């Protein structure tokens, strides 16, 4: 393999994309990762970093551009760490994301399983119904630069709902007008840490200001400025997080104005959402993803479904419409409370929820002799703990539906399931995060000796 050095110039063709959305160029056998590159392009690049097994580079000249390249539509693209694909056509972005899932299944999972399709978004702009704006030590409200905690001003985000940006801008203006200090993570001093905003299908907002303390000066003025900037705000909440941590939300909440929840509709159901409750950030694409999960579950109306990591009960209630009984488990108490209220509000009498860690709940239900026909899991990015996989297999379900936000941990877990007698037979991807490198996927597992008809 050719050895390269920082500052060295070289030329090559972009072969594809890394899992983080970087272009891959091979030079004399050496792999160089290049931001804002497009598959098929011939580029002249400069080496910017030497690592143990690969290199980082930057484009000096595009010698042969790709027809899939487009002009980025965001002024802070390349600075903000959120989007990595604003320089691609949407068709190319979808191709890259489908390939990301396929590569993970093949290389990490060792699976001979094709990703059947990727469900693309009809509306790839302003789709995020939740935005978390960190506050910089200089009072800047925006998003982190990639791989840093430097805050880039980005209130007018191309993927967040505009109301979220207006709320964030109001908090920034309030801080500046009244001299309210931003939080400094290096010293633990200062007050305002984050602005957290949920929005619903109607355009209504729930705004949460995260404080390094229990209260803020000029609280009535804060509420007034948020309401003036975003009149459809239905609630303003203060969250207290005094810990020296990167976790955004603390444990205590206080309603400053209005209500401490937001109502929304998903899959024909009505949901009550508190600030910490899990809820997919792209409503329209979540409906497409959940429809695929229901398809994979193969429900006929008589089955018992166990939904682990159920959040506010979105998948549980969606499955319950097609099943005989649905059981949800979630570790966040507020989310479980929301889930139970959501079940009652939607008249779902065949649903029940447990509060607890998925590992503990799965073990308990297995010991209690629960034998669900279908188990659905939608874990966080870290995937499933080995004991959750073992307990799920121990319940001997007819089908396991795995919804994932990380193809790498999905592939790892599918391999573990395979070692315990369950094989993956179908997989699909869904683009819930246009512009970013993230992609959701869903897989179907069945007992190793069972056959499943082709789609």
Indicate whether 206 belongs to any domain. Answer: yes
Q: Specify the CATH number for the domain of residue 302.
A: 3.40.50.150
Same domain, 243 and 342: no
* pLDDT in the model for residue 451: 65
pLDDT at 216: 97
Residue positions annotated with a catalytic role? 405
Q: 336 and 433: one domain?
A: yes
64 and 183, same domain (yes or no):
no
d(CA 352, CA 375): 14
Check whether residue 311 and residue 433 sit in a common domain: yes
Q: Among candidates 291, 265, 305, which has minimal Cα distance to 395?
A: 305
- What is the C-alpha to C-alpha distance for residues 449 and 191, in angstroms, rounded to an integer? 58
428 in a structural domain: yes
pLDDT in tens, the chain (455 residues): 678 999 999 999 999 999 999 999 999 999 999 999 999 999 999 999 999 999 999 999 999 999 999 999 999 999 998 999 999 999 999 999 999 999 999 999 999 999 999 999 999 999 999 999 999 999 999 999 988 999 999 878 999 999 999 999 999 999 999 999 999 999 999 999 999 999 999 999 999 999 999 999 999 999 999 999 999 999 999 999 999 999 999 999 999 999 999 999 999 999 999 999 888 999 999 999 999 999 999 999 999 999 999 989 999 999 999 999 999 999 889 889 999 999 999 999 999 999 988 888 888 888 888 889 999 999 999 999 999 999 999 999 999 999 999 999 999 999 999 999 999 999 999 999 999 999 999 999 999 977 665 56
312 and 414 in a common domain: yes
- Domain harbouring 40, CATH code: 2.40.50.140
In the chain, how many domains are there? 3
pTM for the model stands at: 0.92
CATH of the domain at 216: 2.40.50.1070
- State pLDDT tens for residues 355-409: 988 888 888 888 888 889 999 999 999 999 999 999 999 999 999 999 999 999 9
Residue 270 within any structural domain of the chain: no
Answer yes or no: do 110 and 189 share one domain: no
Which one, of 75, 205, 209, lies nearest residue 134 by Cα? 209
Is residue 232 located within the same domain as residue 347?
no
| Residues 228 and 316 grouped into a single domain | no
Residue 71 tokens read as: 């002009």
How far does CA 144 lie from the centroid of its chain?
Answer: 16
Give the pLDDT score at 453: 55
Residues 24 and 108 in one domain: no
Any idea of the CA torsion for 21, 27, 29, 33, to the nearest 10 degrees? -20
- Tell me, what's the pLDDT at 147? 84
Can you name the residues that pair with 233 across neighbouring β-strands?
Answer: 205
Taking only the tens place, the pLDDT of each residue in 175-208 is 999 999 999 999 999 999 999 999 999 999 999 9
Q: Give the whole-angstrom CA distance, residue 354 versus residue 356.
A: 6
Does residue 146 sit in the same domain as residue 287?
no
Listed residues 198, 231, 262: the one ending a domain: 262
* Residues 256 and 290 reside in one and the same domain: no
Q: Which domain holds residue 344?
A: 94-122+282-447
């Amino acid at each position: 393999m050719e050895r390269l050095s920082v500052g060295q110039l070289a030329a090559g063709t972009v072969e594809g994309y890394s899992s983080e959305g970087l272009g891959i160029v091979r030079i004399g056998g050496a792999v160089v990762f290049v931001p804002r590159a497009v598959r098929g392009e011939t580029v002249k690049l400069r080496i910017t970093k030497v690592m143990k097994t690969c290199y980082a580079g930057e484009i000096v000249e595009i010698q042969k551009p790709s027809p899939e390249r487009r002009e980025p539509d965001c002024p802070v693209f390349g600075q903000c760490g959120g989007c990595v694909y604003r320089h691609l056509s949407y068709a190319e972005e979808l191709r890259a994301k489908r390939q990301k899932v396929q590569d993970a299944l093949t290389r990490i999972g060792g699976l001979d399983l094709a990703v059947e399709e990727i469900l693309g978004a009809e509306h790839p702009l302003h789709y995020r119904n939740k935005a978390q704006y960190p506050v910089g030590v200089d009072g800047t409200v925006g998003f982190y630069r990639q791989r840093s905690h430097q805050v880039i001003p980005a209130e007018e985000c191309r993927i967040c709902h505009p109301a979220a940006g207006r709320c964030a801008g109001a908090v920034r203006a309030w801080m500046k007008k009244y001299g309210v200090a931003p939080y400094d993570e290096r010293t633990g001093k200062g007050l305002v840490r984050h602005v957290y905003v949920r929005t619903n299908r109607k355009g209504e907002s729930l705004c949460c200001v995260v404080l390094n303390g229990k209260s803020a000066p000029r609280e009535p003025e804060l509420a007034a400025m948020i309401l003036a900037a975003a009149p459809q705000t239905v609630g303003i909440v203060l969250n207290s997080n005094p810990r020296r941590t990167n976790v955004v939300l603390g444990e205590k909440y206080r309603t400053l104005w209005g209500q401490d929840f937001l109502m929304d509709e998903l899959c024909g159901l009505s949901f009550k959402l508190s600030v910490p409750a899990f809820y997919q950030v792209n409503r329209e694409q979540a409906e497409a993803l959940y429809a695929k999960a229901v398809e994979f579950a193969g429900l006929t109306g008589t089955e018992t479904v166990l939904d682990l990591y159920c959040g506010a009960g979105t998948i549980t209630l969606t499955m319950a419409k097609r099943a005989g009984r649905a059981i949800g488990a979630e570790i966040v108490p507020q989310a479980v409370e929301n889930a139970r209220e959501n079940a009652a509000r939607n008249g779902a009498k065949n649903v029940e929820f447990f509060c607890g860690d998925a590992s503990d709940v799965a073990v308990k239900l297995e010991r209690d002799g629960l034998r669900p026909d279908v188990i659905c899991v939608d874990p966080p990015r870290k995937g499933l703990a080995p004991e959750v996989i073992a307990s799920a297999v121990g319940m001997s379900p007819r089908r396991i539906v795995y919804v994932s936000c990380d193809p790498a941990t999905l592939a790892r877990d599918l391999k573990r399931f395979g070692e315990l007698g369950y094989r993956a037979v179908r997989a699909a991807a869904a683009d819930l995060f246009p512009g970013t490198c993230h992609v959701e996927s869903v897989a179907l597992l069945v007992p190793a000796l069972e056959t499943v008809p082709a789609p």
